[in-house]
Amino acid sequence: MTTATIAPGPAAPPARRKARGGRRLNRASGLGLGVAMLWFSLLVLIPLIAVIVTAGEGGWGAFWDSVTNAQTAASIRLTVGTALLVTVVNVFMGTLIAWVLVRDRFWGQRVIEVLIDVPFALPTIVAGLVLLSLYGRDSPLGIDIANTRPAVFLAFLFVTLPFVVRTVQPVLAELDREVEEAAASLGASRFTTFRRIILPSLTPAIAAGAALSFARGVSEYGSLVLLSGNLPMRTEVTSVRILSSIENDNLESAAATAAILLVISFIVIVTVDALQRWVVRRG
Amino acid sequence: MGKPLKWTFRVVVVVYMFLLVAWPVFLVAKNAFADGFADISAILTDPDTAHALRLTVIVGVQAVIINTIFGVGISLLLVRYDFPGKRLLSALLDMPLSVSPIVVGLALVLVYNGRTGWFGPALESVGYQVIFATPGMVMATVFVALPLVIREVVPVLEEVGDEQEQAARSLGAGPVQTFRRITLPAIKWGVIYGVVLSLARSLGEFGAVKVVSGNVLGETRTATLVVEEKYLNFDKGGAYATAFLLALIAIACIVVVSIIRPKEQVK
């Protein structure tokens, strides 16, 4: 059960998608690749290029003006800042949850295992409603954070929950326990063993999970719609800002802000890819 | 591990999961049944909501079919063949997971809208409307769920290797026969997980569909859009009931996956 991964993120030991001396393309597979690439281009590549091109259409000045517009800049600051904060929390909590799931055995563990994946499978609008029912106006706890910045933090925390857990878990499960026992028998304290033996092996997985959780946070939209109130300058995240530009039929300005998000997700992808290759090279 | 530390970890994790996931999800179920079955039966008998639910299923199923065919095909190509740009393609295929759904919607609108889009006017002149219609909604849904089948199938394909396929081919099996008799049975579970996960993701897509659908009541409004609309129009009972149905499907999907998966590992 510990390896049951509904993995967002590279759940399996990383960089599996590696060339392993495959065959050359023949006519049928070449045709298949062509059709697949055509579909992928029409669906993903051309539309994403269209975002970048539209963002640049008015020249650098227009682009700069729309992303430094006070309201847009505030939304980018809020989104990136909150996503960073949430990522830090996830690094600690995600590693801790993975640790408990792999190294501990207790009644109800399977329930936690399923709960980890709930934020990944739950529709984001439902996620917002779910959080609102405990942390909104009718909160049984008496905590009402609806329409405030903590609500943005909470929503990000919810939707990014699975990422670090699911990247760290399989790596932790495959760690060699004998090395830890050896370290302990040589007099290393528990903390030293963790810091010197376990942590170095987990770091790439933690970093990959953190990158994915950051990317997911930055791009979040649905869970915030009902929860954060989308108040300009205060709780409006970048995706909401882009949507209001689209609804005002200002596609250029929407594309300019969207381009910033695309650059962020591209950097994240490159980072994760580099991390995975680094792990593979280290063996 | 020392006992106090072990218990501290355990308690912290359980409390965290309870406050962040378990309790809020439970409350939605509770709110959905606040008036007994009244809210649930109200949304099922309301023609507009019933239409939205039907549309969600239609769009979701189409998207899953497309993603399954594309996903299995591209996984086979990535694992079994060599071609230039393979690593780049493999990295790009993960892109949809980290692109904001609103940006996905915007990207599709920029290319396929009938007025100023790159391809939209040409497609519309031959009578094919993409944006504000079902094809655009299917495309948006396919986009956001694109990597899920691939992520499940690629590791399985690499693990089973291609010795059996080579043997089948050397014994005279054609490519179709080899795929149907050898490859497909081997990757069956990977494909099934991928399909279940894609289905959960597709039925729940909100942001991207909101942008491309135009959100027209009784025409292009899907179930997730109904949740938003009902909540904002102070029909909380209806919002919670619809959300409950969607949550039920999502949780059923992950429970199914978590039940099937260990069985397959034992085999």
**pLDDT tens-digit map of A167-197:** 898 888 888 888 888 888 888 888 888 888 8
| Residue located via tokens 């990158």 | A211
Q: Identify the sign of the CA torsion A171, A177, A183, A184.
A: positive
Number of domains in chain B: 2
Domain co-membership, B165 together with B146? yes
Domain co-membership, B19 together with B150? no
Distance in angstroms (rounded) separating the CA atoms of residues A101 and A95: 10
Q: Which chain B residue is nearest to residue A215, measuring alpha carbons?
A: B98
Give the mean pLDDT of A108-131.
Answer: 89
Confidence class of residue A96 from pLDDT cuts 50, 70 and 90? very high
Domain co-membership, B183 together with B209? yes
A23 vs B: CB within 8 A: yes
Q: Give B225's contacts in chain A (Cβ within 8 Å).
A: 125
Determine whether B46 is exposed, middle or buried from the number of CB atoms within 10 Å of its CB (0-12, 13-18, 19+): middle
A38 vs B: CB within 8 A: no
Which of A114, A118, A221 is facing B100, going by the closest CB pair?
Answer: A221
Which of A104, A114, A130 is facing B258, going by the closest CB pair?
Answer: A114
A1 vs B: CB within 8 A: yes
Confidence class of residue A18 from pLDDT cuts 50, 70 and 90? very low
Domain co-membership, B27 together with B134? no
- For chain A, what is the mean pLDDT? 84
B155 vs A: CB within 8 A: yes
CB contact under 8 A, B102 and A123: no
3-state percent breakdown (helix, strand, coil) of chain B, nearest 5:
80, 0, 20
B77 vs A: CB within 8 A: yes
Of A27-36, A257-266, A268-277, give the lowest mean pLDDT range. Answer: A268-277
Q: Which CATH homologous superfamily contains domain A60-282?
A: MetI-like (1.10.3720.10)
Q: Give A131's contacts in chain B (Cβ within 8 Å).
A: 24
The shortest C-alpha distance from B130 to chain A (Å) reads 12
- Percent of chain A scored above 90 by pLDDT? 34
Q: Which domain holds residue B78?
A: 37-266
Q: Which chain B residue is nearest to residue A118, measuring alpha carbons?
A: B251
DSSP state of A65: H
Cβ contact B56:B224 at 8 Å: yes
Cβ contact A135:A229 at 8 Å: no
- For Cα atoms B95, B77, B184, give the angle at the middle one, nearest 5 degrees: 110
A52 vs B: CB within 8 A: no
What pLDDT sits at residue A10?
A: 41
Determine whether B95 is exposed, middle or buried from the number of CB atoms within 10 Å of its CB (0-12, 13-18, 19+): buried
Domain co-membership, B16 together with B113? no
CB contact under 8 A, A129 and B19: no
Angle of helix A59-68 relative to helix A46-56, nearest 10 degrees, comes to 90
| Residue located via tokens 């959100």 | B215
Which of A6, A133, A270 is facing B28, going by the closest CB pair?
Answer: A133
CB contact under 8 A, A17 and B13: no
CB contact under 8 A, A255 and B106: yes
Going residue by residue through chain B, which has 267 residues, state the pLDDT in tens, using 9 for 90 and above.
577 888 889 899 999 999 999 999 888 888 888 877 888 888 888 888 888 999 999 999 999 999 999 999 999 999 888 888 888 888 888 888 888 999 999 999 999 988 888 898 888 888 888 888 889 999 999 999 999 999 889 988 888 888 888 888 888 888 888 888 888 888 888 899 899 989 999 999 998 999 998 777 777 888 899 898 888 888 888 899 999 999 999 999 888 888 877 654 443
- For Cα atoms B225, B212, B115, give the angle at the middle one, nearest 5 degrees: 145
Which position has the higher pLDDT, A14 or B33?
B33
What pLDDT sits at residue B263?
A: 52
Domain co-membership, B178 together with B67? yes
Confidence class of residue A64 from pLDDT cuts 50, 70 and 90? confident
What pLDDT sits at residue A110?
A: 85
Cβ contact B221:B115 at 8 Å: no
Chains A and B form CB pairs within 8 A to the count of: 287
Q: What is the ipTM of this complex?
A: 0.87
Which position has the higher pLDDT, A94 or A147?
A94
DSSP state of A3: T
Which of A111, A129, A222 is facing B240, going by the closest CB pair?
Answer: A129
CB contact under 8 A, A246 and B28: no
B65 vs A: CB within 8 A: no
Q: Give A121's contacts in chain B (Cβ within 8 Å).
A: 197, 200-201, 204, 250-251, 253-254
Residues A254-271 have pLDDT tens digits of 999 999 999 988 888 788
Domain co-membership, B172 together with B81? yes
Beta strand residue intervals within chain A, DSSP E: 23-24
Domain co-membership, B9 together with B86? no
CB contact under 8 A, A39 and B70: yes
Q: CB atoms < 10 A from the CB of A275, how many?
A: 21
